[in-house]
């Protein structure tokens, strides 16, 4: 049987996507990343200010703390998080997403994100 579409594998970052590696910062008992997320399949996507498609139930970065680990790693507000350490983040509830990012056993998280400015640049370069 043929495999239709394509499967996302390591090393095969699609155009318009970005890898961001964040090293968590220890603050007392907690390991923090320094950003906030919004979205999830159990949330109302029409209230997402960052998405182009208002039915998109993905996880978006809604705030990045100044000088925090996320900002240092290059994460930007409005980024959509596709994967965290290989785990899919496009079909998860809000709480599941939060838990995936805040695992105590992980000191480093590798995110795969899409950024609208990047996507638009790719689209434009494809058209020209």
Partner 1 sequence: MQDRLHILEDLNMLYIRQMALSLEDTELQRKLDHEIRMREGACKLLAACSQREQALEATKSLLVCNSRILSYMGELQRRKEAQVLGKTGRRPSDSGPPAERSPCRGRVCISDLRIPLMWKDTEYFKNKGDLHRWAVFLLLQLGEHIQDTEMILVDRTLTDISFQSNVLFTEAGPDFELRLELYGACVEEEGALAGAPKRLATKLSSSLGRSSGRRVRASLESAGGSGSSPILLPTPAVGGPRYHLLAHTTLTLAAVQDGFRTHDLTLTSHEENPAWLPLYGSVCCRLVAQPLCMTQPTASGTLRVQQAGELQDWARVHGVLKGTNLFCYRQPEDADTGEEPLFTIAINKETRVRAGELDHAAGQPFTLSISNRYGEDEVTHTLQTESRGALHSWMEALWQLFFDMSQWKQCCDEIMKIETPAPRKPPQVLAKQGSLYHEMAIEPLDDIAAVTDILAQREGTRLETPPPWLAMFTEQPALPTPCSPASVAPAPARTHPMPWGRPRTFSLDAVPPDHSPGASRSVAPLPQQPSPRSRGLFSKGPSRTWLQSPV
Query: By the criterion CB under 8 A, which residues form the site for partner 1?
Result: 1, 3-10, 14, 32-33, 35-45, 47-48, 53, 56, 58, 62-63, 82-83, 85-88, 90-96, 98-99, 101-102, 110
CB 35 to partner 1: min, Å: 6
Which CB, 15 or 128, lies closer to partner 1?
15
Which CB, 23 or 99, lies closer to partner 1?
99
- DSSP output for 1-51: -PPPS----TT-PPTTEEEEEEE-EEETTEEE-SEEEEE-TTS-GGG-SS-
Which CB, 40 or 73, lies closer to partner 1?
40
The H-or-E segment that residue 116 falls in is helix 116-127
CB 32 to partner 1: min, Å: 7
CB 80 to partner 1: min, Å: 10
CB 61 to partner 1: min, Å: 10
Which CB, 46 or 128, lies closer to partner 1?
46
């Amino acid at each position: 049987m043929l495999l239709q579409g394509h499967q996302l594998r390591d090393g095969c970052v699609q155009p318009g996507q970005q890898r961001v590696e964040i090293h968590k910062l220890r603050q007392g008992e907690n390991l923090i990343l320094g950003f906030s997320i919004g979205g999830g399949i159990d949330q109302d996507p029409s209230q997402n200010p960052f998405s182009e498609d208002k039915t998109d139930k993905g996880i978006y970065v809604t705030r990045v703390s100044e000088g925090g680990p996320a900002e240092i790693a290059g994460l930007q507000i409005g980024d959509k998080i596709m994967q965290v350490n290989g785990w899919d983040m496009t079909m998860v509830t809000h709480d599941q997403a939060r838990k995936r990012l805040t695992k105590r056993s992980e000191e480093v998280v590798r995110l795969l994100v899409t950024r609208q400015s990047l996507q638009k640049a790719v689209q434009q370069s494809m058209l020209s």
